[in-house]
Structure 1
């Protein structure tokens, strides 16, 4: 099978680049995939092809974040490459945070299907489950209604692909109920690496409470720092806060403002952007992974990573995090997302009972092990085979191009 994957890819900083890396890495390990055309965003440094069978990958850098030309350049390259199946690794701001480039990119699966190609879309989030205000899009109620109208229209277009996969079971129910769909399937997010048994012992040195991601919209670290300050009043052992990641594109300068606000607080480490090769070390060095979220926008890759490295977690009891606990078996201490004292209590509950920490960590590792990325890729290949085995009932326009 000649497979095209449309995704951001390291060293890109565009959203979902890490997930794209692990998808491609695992696709090329499969015998069914004879060639993979990586239709990625343009980067100055070469793509990170540091895995086995990378010779199967043909890099085609054919789009740029926020470019109005992406729609045409991707179509042109697909027609040139003529893949058997095109797989899109998407969310609503994948091709840009400006409205027109973002929308044009989301039309591609439908348009390419009309041109006779087989298309499958992985949608990491759906607008119906996103709190637009907390996620940093807009707080204006009229603008929210406009966003929802546009989002509904774009979702209808995305659903014109041959298949659409989502990572949470509730998303299937929401889409089926609202759009009367018959081509939406559940394929879980999965865990990035093929699982190896982690060490549940803690490394020497201060205990590290780590938050990972892009911060400033619905991920805000003030509550975590305030919680650690509160814990230090009664707990004398050394504790550090590790903020691993960067500003959200919607809130430039956020982490710098946090540094200035909490300059008087010792033991706060800002790592900046974490390269793919450093992710394992960042997680392995952590005692607890914290989720200082006020909202969620899709299945949490960070929770799956925490599970794969055998880590205890503290998280708010809301949105998709709650669904993942219910559907996939993850475990953690819950806290009120608006109360630093609640977060301090959740962290202390784990810090003060190492047996409990280990139990949570092992439960999360078991949940992650059941859905490693190689198994997830097998699910996608099965869907590709179903798509390609069906006789085309649509009139192809490729012959006229």
Structure 2
């Protein structure tokens, strides 16, 4: 099987790049895959991409550009030249741009590749119906919310023109089936990037390192987390450290620099900036508790899956997609009311004081992560591709 994937890919900093890195790594290890062609953004020079030598052949083709209206033409032209057995689009709604026209045109590309007779699957990481537009930093205007909602509905209809649309959460599939009468939707869980076999659950209980990870400034904010840590230090005998790992949300540039200046008087708070892929295991490995200072959600949480894979207890609000993951995949945490410092302090205190409960949650989340490895997820995608590709269906039948 020759597989094409349209996605951002490291060292590109565009969204979903890390997910692509891990999914592609496991596609290459599948016996059914003979070659992977990655159609990535032009901010990445092909010569700078360091691909592993493990698995099948992999080629990088930078052929689209963030906010370019030419993306559909360039992507489909490249796909027709490469003639893959199947193509997978790794998407969310702002994948191809943060300007309306290029973003919308980009989401029409899967439909165009299907029209070009290329078996087309979309992995859709979020849907507009579950996004809080105000909390996510798009708009506070009721009129604009209705306009964005209408636009989101039309864009969803475009995406659903693909042969198959994979979503990561059961609730997403239910909404797409009920609202759009979509018959081509398949639930394939997010999966866990890497699950180390030698995770240690030993800890130095004289100190606790709290860590939060992501793009901050809209529905992910850290002011109340820092304030909670200040209060926590008065009530907990252990030394409390806080690591804020990540960058600004593109819609709120300068946010973390402002926070760092505002709370410069608070000791023991580290701002890491962008975390390179090879440094992710270190960031998670050194932490004791992963915190989700969210007021909303916009998709299946890669950070929660990573916390599970490294055997970490979590503190999070029981809202949106986080609540879905708890129900669907078995993750557990200590919960707090979003936006309430006192509630966050109470939740953090539980895990800073009750060592046995922290260990119990860490082991539970590790087991949940192991159950949905990327090896399993990549195999499920290959099964899906075989249902829409005549060539692959014939090959599968002959192999059987």
TM range (shorter): over 0.9
User: CA deviation digits over 1:220-248, x for unaligned, max 9?
Assistant: 01111011001011224221110000000
Secondary structure of 1:49's aligned partner: coil
Question: Please, what is the CA RMSD of the aligned residues?
Answer: 1.5
Q: Deviations over 1:146-177 (max 9, x none)?
A: 11111101101111100000000011110000
Offset, 1:390:
8.6
What does residue 13 of structure 1 align with?
13
In 1, the alpha carbon distance for the partners of 2:225 and 2:179 equals: 37
Q: Which residue of 2 aligns with 1:286?
A: 287
Q: Distance in 1 between matches of 2:17 and 2:392?
A: 33
More deviation, 61-70/378-387 = 61-70
Work out the CA distance in 2 between the residues paired with 1:97 and 1:279: 27
Gap regions ≥5 residues in structure 2: 394-400
Q: Deviations over 1:262-316 (max 9, x none)?
A: 0110011000000000001100100100000000001000000000000000000
The 1:366/1:189 distance shift into structure 2, 3 A limit, reads: same
Superposition deviation, residue 58 in structure 1: 1.0
Q: CA deviation at 1:68?
A: 2.0
Cα 1:201–1:391 change in 2 (3 A) is closer
Residues of 1 paired with 2:49 and 2:250: CA distance?
22
> Structure 2 CA distance, aligned partners of 1:217 and 1:232?
27
CA drift at 1:73: 1.2
1:372 Cα deviation after fit = 0.5
SS in 1 for 2:183: coil
- Give the 3-state SS of the residue equivalent to 1:269 in structure 2: strand
TM-score by length of 1: 0.95
| Structure 1 residue aligned with 2:112 | 111
User: After superposition, what is the alpha-carbon deviation per residue over 1:339-376, rounded to whole angstroms, capped at 9, x for unaligned?
Assistant: 11111110110110111100000000000000010100
**Cα deviation, residue 203, structure 1:** 5.3
Instruction: Kindly state the Cα deviation for residue 324 of structure 1 after the two structures are TM-superposed.
Output: 0.6
Deviation at 1:201, TM superposition (A): 1.1
The answer for the alignment partner of 2:211 in structure 1 is: 210
Cα shift at 1:204: 8.2
Structure 1 spans left out of the alignment, 5+ residues: 393-401
Q: Match of 1:399?
A: none
Match of 2:128 in 1: 127
User: What is the distance in 1 between the residues matched to 2:392 and 2:373?
Assistant: 32
What is the Cα deviation at residue 194 of structure 1? 4.2
CA–CA distance in 2 between the matches of 1:318 and 1:204?
30
Alpha-carbon deviation of 1:114? Answer: 1.1
2:349 is aligned to 348
Cα-to-partner distance string for 1:108-134 (whole Å, 9 max, x where unaligned): 011111111110000000000100000
Does structure 2 retain, via aligned residues, the 8 Å contact 1:203–1:285?
A: no
2:32 counterpart of 1:35? no
Residues 266 and 102 (structure 1 numbering): CA distance in 2 closer, same or farther, change over 3 Å?
A: same
1:223 maps onto 2:224 in alignment? yes
**Structure 2 matches for 1:183-194, cutoff 5 A?**
183-194=184-195
Offset of residue 51 of structure 1: 5.2
Q: After superposing the two structures, state which structure 1 stretch, 205-214 or 11-20, moved more.
A: 205-214
Tell me, yes or no, if structure 1 residue 52 matches structure 2 residue 54.
yes
Which residue does 1:398 correspond to in 2?
none
| Contact 2:192–2:374 (8 Å) recurs in 1 | yes
What SS class does the counterpart of residue 270 from structure 2 fall into? Answer: strand
What do residues 38-81 of structure 1 show as CA deviations (whole Å, max 9, x unaligned)?
Answer: 0011214712313512x610110111211222122111111111
In structure 2, relative to structure 1, the CA distance for the partners of 1:219 and 1:69 (3 Å cut) is: same
**Separation (CA, whole Å) in 2 of partners of 1:225 and 1:48:** 37
Distance across 2 between alignment mates of 1:172 and 1:157:
16
How much does 1:206 deviate?
Answer: 3.9
Contact 1:120/1:162 (<8 A) preserved: yes
Q: 1:276 to 1:134 in 2, by over 3 A?
A: same
After the TM superposition, list the runs of 4 or more consecutive aligned residues in structure 1 that deviate by more than 6 angstroms.
none
